[in-house]
Amino acid sequence: MCQESYYQFFLEHWPLIAAETLVNSWYIQRLCEELQRIAERVFLDKPKEYDFLWNCPPGTSKSSLVSILWQPWLWTRMPSLRFISGSYSERLALDLSRKSRDVVSSDKYRALFPFIKMRDDQNTKSHFANTEGGMRYAVGVGGTVIGMHAHVIAIDDPIDPQAALSDLMLAEANTWMTETLSRRKVNVMLTPTVCIMQRLHQDDPSGNMLNRGTPLRHCCVPGDDGWEIKPAEFREKYSETGLLDPIRLPREALEDALATLGEVGYAGQYGQSPVPRGGAMFKIDRLQYSPEAPKQWRRFPRRYWDKAATAAGGAWTAGVKIGMDLEKRIWILDVVRGQWDSDTRERVILKTARADGRKVLICVEQEPGGSGKDSAEDTAKSLTLAGFHCRLDKVTGDKELRADPLSVQVNAGNVTLQNGPWNNTFVEEMRYFPRSKYKDQIDAASGCFNQLARSRLRIGVL
């Protein structure tokens, strides 16, 4: 029974890895079934149907299911199977691998599956093997896997909640998964990648997998039914209590987590969403839209540029145009955005200025440091020589602090977007900010609004 059913194997071997009695639940059996379906194709040497992503809260035995007991069960069906496991830290990856090795070395496992014998000459926490050619290699994110090729790759929490606040560490985790692990397969058509994690950021490894465009099965089981649940049929499992697991994660525990983590932290770890209920910093459902802009202004529109200088990659250059009407409503009128080299960028800024007209004040963000100062001053000189009024804005404070005044206006329902092809990308960036993949449009919009709010009263006709 254990050999034929991973769920039965999990139940039978749980006492080997935990002193506590198992608190079973529907999602444990379902995850076992999902993992077995993936494995059966590996056993038959068939092409994989998809990679697999499972988003779930902490405290749901996810590491026990994916990182500790799955590999020992895989060997019972395919002793020659090679398995690579990873986690956000090498220390965690090695600890999970050690627990898995302890299962394979246990009296119970050896009695049930005597044909699995460990090799004495390759038996460490990070890399152990059996006499049939099967092996497990454990590694932390960013670690080397040179020379290793797996039939199955399993990633358990490739990034932790604190690291998800760092664009650099997000990029490192995503690059490692897509550029390093993707080459560590016995056969790219056969080897599945399984990732189990909390959803922490728009551009975390979950978001990266969802946007990659390759076949992916995505299951999402948040702590309660106030969030997106995937697949939709799982929602029936919440129907009685509204909770994923009323024993492990009762309402009181979720409320305590919300009080401790705050809305953003709770949304990621328990709601499996980078955005809290109702939106993050910006409540985008309170934005208004209009096909036409006002004819008269209390404060005439201006255009603010947040510059980048990378063509076809990296950060974006964004120029946002904002005005205030006679009723003191804020209007976001236009966004120009692109990934241009410095020469193309300067030509676009000048072309946009000519299209806006000479009444529109142009503001350019001046970042700290010599290069930022020189770049902003060069743009200002070019625009001034062309007859446009330009102002440099020396930014201070972090992005969230600078965005706060604009978020107040958005959340009060006082911001209108003029309809345009730029609306969707702008609103999506606003939806996830400050945990958005890119922040250039919101940086420019925040800078523009802050300049507008500091300006003297001015009435003009567009």
The structure tokens listed for 252 are 């009181």
461 has pLDDT over 60: no
52 vs 195: CA distance, rounded Å: 6
What CATH number matches the domain at 6-220, 3.30.70, 3.40.50, 1.10.10, 3.40.1000? 3.40.50
Over residues 284-311, the mean pLDDT reads 92
What CATH number matches the domain at 284-461, 3.30.420.240, 3.40.50.720, 3.40.50.2000, 3.40.1000.10? 3.30.420.240
CB atoms within 10 A of CB 382: 16
The structure tokens listed for 187 are 């056969």
End-to-end alpha-carbon separation of the chain, Å? 77
Residue ranges of alpha helices (H) inside 357-398 are 370-385
353, 388 Cβ separation under 8 angstroms: yes
* 402-439 residue pLDDT tens: 999 999 999 999 999 999 999 999 999 999 888 888 89
Cis peptide before 434 (omega within 30 of 0): yes
State CA 295 to chain mean position distance.
Answer: 41
Strands 296-297, 152-156: pairing is unpaired
DSSP class of 299: E
- Dihedral (Cα; 343, 345, 349, 350), 10-degree rounding: 20
* 435-458 residue pLDDT tens: 888 899 999 999 999 999 986 534
459 has pLDDT over 60: no
| Structure confidence at residue 312 as a pLDDT band (50, 70, 90) | low
State CA 422 to chain mean position distance.
Answer: 23
Check residue 281 and give its pLDDT: 85
Check residue 279 and give its pLDDT: 67
Mean pLDDT, all residues of the chain: 92
Q: List, as one string, the DSSP characters of 189-252.
A: TT--EEEEE----TTSHHHHHHTS-S-EEEEE--SBTTS--BSGGGGGGGTTTSBS-TTTS-HH
171 has pLDDT over 50: yes
Check residue 462 and give its pLDDT: 34
Domain residues of the chain, as ranges? 6-220, 284-461
Check residue 458 and give its pLDDT: 40
33 vs 8: CA distance, rounded Å: 10
CATH topology of 6-220 equal to that of 284-461? no
The pTM for the full model equals 0.77
